[in-house]
Chains A and B, each alone.
Chain A
Amino acid sequence: MKFVKWALAAAMTMSLGLPTAHADAPFKAAWIYVGPVSDHGYSFQHDQGRKAVEAALGAKVKTTFVESVPEGADAERVLTQLARDGNKLIFSTSFGFMNATLKVARAFPDVKFEHATGYKRAANVSTFSARFYEGRAVLGTIAGKMTKTGVVGYIASIPIPEVVRGIDAFTIALRKVRPDAKVKVIYVNSWYDPGKEAAAAKALIDQGADVLAQHTDSAAPVQTAEERGVWCFGQSSDMTRYAPHRLLTGIIENWDQYDVAEVKAAMNGSWKSHDTWGGLASGMVKLSPYNPAMPRDVVAAAEKTRQDIIAGKLNPFAGPITDQSGKLVVPAGKSLSDAQLLGLRFYVQGVEGNLPK
């Protein structure tokens, strides 16, 4: 009776596997993701952060993650269960978890929370996000140099400030290099739908775009660009292998150092609630390697933009900024504040398309 033996063995494993309390028990930290960790995009990159924590702290930490957590009523339960399970620091990595995180934080004052991309904080809730728009300003600079038609396509997910910010920063930088260039935007109403993203890429190419940028998670747009022979930029993770000839560079989300630092701080008691908005300088936003096919002057222009932003010499949202109607929104010498950027909801001149009021 092989099966009986096996069942007995299983029961043994269980009884032996019961956790026993130790004085030097590992510090427990947890992550919750909105997508599957194998999306190779946003949730994947956050899970890289978790893995970085494991690599850096080894047996001193025990990490847990829950993937594909719906952003409705379920998030609060998952957060509660993680807190009850003894996790002392919980990374809640999607905007939609914001209010649930705040609620659970109130119920578990001795547990610390890290909420990504939100704006509500508490004594035990920090927020963190990245200034991806800084990276997009570099992409815009490159696009301005590379486009021949002066039409750039932009595949966007949904019209939230984060996405609008990226489009605007990209367009401002683009038009500094190529003042007559315009950006055509298509929203696919999803963060992740390879088929639709590919179709949107094709539509943009058919309407004359010879450079594509994207703010969606799949590699479908860069694949399409490779196939149709137009330039493109990647998103979230390094997508070079999907478009080895046509991918110029791409934005990489990098939470590794931040996550490690926060876990260390929580372990040694120095953790404090704070708001972090890191950009190129902090390494939260990185660029994937430049395509060797990029002309030297383009690399130079891109590097200058990048270095100037890192050095604080260039603010991608420095005036003069005009909106679509040509009205001056930010005069020269001024720039948009972080609060304005957080809720940004207008297109700058050069973007084609409408943003509903």
Chain B
Amino acid sequence: MLRLEARPHPSTAALLLAPLLAVLLTLLAGALLFALLGFAPAAALKAFFITPVNSLYGLGELAMKATPLLLCAIGLAVGFRANIWNIGAEGQLLMGAIAGSGVALFLRPADGAPWVLPAMFLAGALGGMAWAAVPAFLKLRFNASEILTSLMLTYVARLFLRWLVGGPWRDPDGYNFPQSPMFAPDAVIPPLLHGTRLGFGALLALAVTLGGWFLLSRTFLGFQIRVIGLTSAAAGYAGFDRGRVTWLSLLLSGALAGIAGLNEVAGPIGQLTPFVSPGYGFTAIIVAFLGRLHPIGILFASLLVALSYLGGESAQISLGLPLAATDVFQGMLLFFLLASEVLVRYRPRLARTRG
């Protein structure tokens, strides 16, 4: 029977080959699935992986779809490394969008006010931070699990957003539909490249990725985070402050999620609506783990997951593949990626018996 033997060091070759193997297996399994459903497998796979990115516009869309995933996942990864289970990035994202929109709607910038967008980004970060501060406080003060509090607060944020845009913040000229007025031109992120919708949020996300890498692998704080995550007891002996790391990781992930939310409303959406995010905060959890909680890995993972979303749309458009098949296919992709990781840390060995 095959058994797994732990490698003394993660294998670099496997690190690079494992995802490729996973993608290959997904292609095979996907082809089978599509054939079973009566679709030409090659055409379906082409629609999934090639069509969405065969143009500049498509590449811009890919980066745009990956941006909120990347921002949220980097923040979450820092927390997950320290065993802080923030699963409410979605709520923090919405609160960031709300706070940033507040700046755009109520400071009514005059034309040519260069400070508006920076102020909105700041407000977005603060909004997300404030929402993440609640689980941090409840965890440290009352010992309440952040898994539960951050998840519950996501529902609260969703309802709060709906109330806000349906009530006090709704567009006075919008026939009472639940949406804010469109933001002034100065409060909307301009596209970086003509012919795409990609704004500088994507560059910011790249900078955050580098920053996250630096924080985790090059600073003493990052070291503390990793130690606390690995062995809480050892961290205690070393005198590392668990409270400080709890605050830091939750506030950081809240801020990044908030920025992600703001980047959506001030970018492609251009107003506050009840539909800021189709669940980026939740998907980012998968992205964080697919990237093995490493910022560079997360960058690639966010692109791959974003591509699978775009691919699902494209397969619906060109082949009429039902969305449910896309979900199944995405699930398979994730399963294979997660399973293939075993090769990085373990070496498969043939052994005679083992239970």
A touching B, CB within 8 angstroms? yes
Binding site for B on A (CB under 8 A): 6-7, 10-11, 13-14, 17, 30, 36, 64-74, 76-78, 80-82, 84-85, 95-96, 99, 119, 158-161, 189, 342-345, 356-357
Whether the Cβ atoms of A158 and B162 lie closer than 8 Å is yes
4 nearest A-B pairs in the assembled complex, by CB-CB distance: A343-B175, A70-B278, A73-B268, A14-B42
Q: In the complex, which residues of chain B have a beta carbon less than 8 angstroms from the beta carbon of A161?
A: 175-177
Q: Given A10-B40, A99-B270, A159–B166 Cβ distance below 8 Å? A: yes
Interface centre among A6, A11, A80, A81 (most CB of B within 10 A): A81
Cβ-closest chain B residue relative to A345: B176
Q: In the complex, which residues of chain B have a beta carbon less than 8 angstroms from the beta carbon of A14?
A: 40, 42-43, 46
Whether the Cβ atoms of A17 and B40 lie closer than 8 Å is yes
Residue in B159, B166, B268, B317 whose beta carbon sits within 8 Å of that of A85 in the complex: B317
CA distance A345 to B275 in the complex (A): 22
Q: In the complex, which residues of chain A have a beta carbon less than 8 angstroms from the beta carbon of B310?
A: 77
CA distance A36 to B46 in the complex (A): 24
Binding site for A on B (CB under 8 A): 31, 35, 40-43, 46, 57, 61, 64-65, 159, 162-163, 166-167, 174-178, 182, 197, 264, 267-271, 273-278, 309-310, 313-314, 316-318, 320, 322-324
Residue in A72, A81, A189, A357 whose beta carbon sits within 8 Å of that of B313 in the complex: A81
Whether the Cβ atoms of B320 and A72 lie closer than 8 Å is no
A309 to chain B minimum Cβ distance, whole angstroms, is 23
B240 to chain A minimum Cβ distance, whole angstroms, is 40
Q: In the complex, which residues of chain B have a beta carbon less than 8 angstroms from the beta carbon of A66?
A: 313, 316-317, 323
CA distance A357 to B176 in the complex (A): 10
B284 to chain A minimum Cβ distance, whole angstroms, is 15
Whether the Cβ atoms of A10 and B35 lie closer than 8 Å is yes
Q: In the complex, which residues of chain B have a beta carbon less than 8 angstroms from the beta carbon of A30?
A: 317
A28 to chain B minimum Cβ distance, whole angstroms, is 11
CA distance A67 to B310 in the complex (A): 13
Whether the Cβ atoms of B264 and A73 lie closer than 8 Å is yes
Q: Given A10-B42, A71-B273, A96-B275, A80–B167 Cβ distance below 8 Å? A: no
Residue in B176, B177, B320, B323 whose beta carbon sits within 8 Å of that of A64 in the complex: B320
Whether the Cβ atoms of B276 and A81 lie closer than 8 Å is no
Q: In the complex, which residues of chain B have a beta carbon less than 8 angstroms from the beta carbon of A189?
A: 159, 162
Cβ-closest chain A residue relative to B276: A72
Q: In the complex, which residues of chain A have a beta carbon less than 8 angstroms from the beta carbon of B61?
A: 77
Whether the Cβ atoms of A13 and B43 lie closer than 8 Å is yes
Cβ-closest chain A residue relative to B60: A77
Q: In the complex, which residues of chain A have a beta carbon less than 8 angstroms from the beta carbon of B175?
A: 119, 161, 342-343
Whether the Cβ atoms of B43 and A17 lie closer than 8 Å is yes
Cβ-closest chain B residue relative to A64: B317
Residue in B159, B167, B271 whose beta carbon sits within 8 Å of that of A357 in the complex: B167
Q: In the complex, which residues of chain B have a beta carbon less than 8 angstroms from the beta carbon of A84?
A: 57
Q: Given A17-B43, A85-B317, A189-B162, A72–B167 Cβ distance below 8 Å? A: no
Q: Given A17-B43, A161-B177, A85–B313 Cβ distance below 8 Å? A: no
Q: In the complex, which residues of chain B have a beta carbon less than 8 angstroms from the beta carbon of A342?
A: 175
Whether the Cβ atoms of B318 and A85 lie closer than 8 Å is yes
Cβ-closest chain A residue relative to B159: A189
Residue in A7, A36, A74 whose beta carbon sits within 8 Å of that of B323 in the complex: A36
Q: List 28 interface pairs A-B (beta carbons < 8 Å), by A numbering.
A: A10-B35, A10-B40, A10-B41, A13-B40, A13-B41, A13-B43, A17-B43, A69-B313, A70-B278, A71-B273, A72-B276, A74-B65, A74-B313, A77-B197, A80-B57, A81-B317, A82-B317, A99-B269, A119-B175, A158-B162, A159-B166, A160-B176, A160-B177, A161-B176, A161-B177, A189-B159, A343-B174, A343-B175
List 17 additional contacts besides A13-B42, A72-B268; criterion CB under 8 Å: A7-B31, A10-B31, A13-B40, A14-B46, A17-B40, A64-B317, A65-B316, A66-B317, A72-B269, A77-B61, A77-B197, A81-B317, A85-B317, A99-B270, A159-B166, A342-B175, A343-B175
CA distance A226 to B65 in the complex (A): 45
Q: In the complex, which residues of chain A have a beta carbon less than 8 angstroms from the beta carbon of B174?
A: 343
CA distance A85 to B270 in the complex (A): 25
B285 to chain A minimum Cβ distance, whole angstroms, is 18
CA distance A344 to B177 in the complex (A): 10
Residue in B40, B182, B267, B320 whose beta carbon sits within 8 Å of that of A73 in the complex: B267
Cβ-closest chain B residue relative to A87: B317
CA distance A10 to B43 in the complex (A): 9
Cβ-closest chain B residue relative to A341: B175
B235 to chain A minimum Cβ distance, whole angstroms, is 40
Whether the Cβ atoms of B178 and A158 lie closer than 8 Å is yes
Residue in A6, A76, A356 whose beta carbon sits within 8 Å of that of B268 in the complex: A76
CA distance A36 to B323 in the complex (A): 8
Whether the Cβ atoms of B176 and A72 lie closer than 8 Å is no
CA distance A65 to B270 in the complex (A): 26
CA distance A72 to B40 in the complex (A): 31
Q: Given A72-B278, A160-B176, A77–B43 Cβ distance below 8 Å? A: no
CA distance A80 to B55 in the complex (A): 13
Q: In the complex, which residues of chain B have a beta carbon less than 8 angstroms from the beta carbon of A78?
A: 313, 317
CA distance A64 to B47 in the complex (A): 14
Q: In the complex, which residues of chain B have a beta carbon less than 8 angstroms from the beta carbon of A357?
A: 167
B277 to chain A minimum Cβ distance, whole angstroms, is 6
Whether the Cβ atoms of A72 and B277 lie closer than 8 Å is yes
CA distance A67 to B321 in the complex (A): 10
CA distance A17 to B275 in the complex (A): 38
CA distance A349 to B200 in the complex (A): 52
Q: In the complex, which residues of chain B have a beta carbon less than 8 angstroms from the beta carbon of A344?
A: 176
Q: Given A10-B40, A158-B178, A159-B166, A74–B316 Cβ distance below 8 Å? A: no
Q: In the complex, which residues of chain B have a beta carbon less than 8 angstroms from the beta carbon of A158?
A: 162, 166, 178
CA distance A356 to B166 in the complex (A): 9
CA distance A17 to B269 in the complex (A): 37
Q: In the complex, which residues of chain B have a beta carbon less than 8 angstroms from the beta carbon of A77?
A: 61, 197, 310, 313
Q: In the complex, which residues of chain B have a beta carbon less than 8 angstroms from the beta carbon of A72?
A: 264, 268-269, 273, 275-278
Interface centre among A10, A14, A64, A80 (most CB of B within 10 A): A10
Cβ-closest chain B residue relative to A94: B275
Q: In the complex, which residues of chain A have a beta carbon less than 8 angstroms from the beta carbon of B323?
A: 36, 66-68
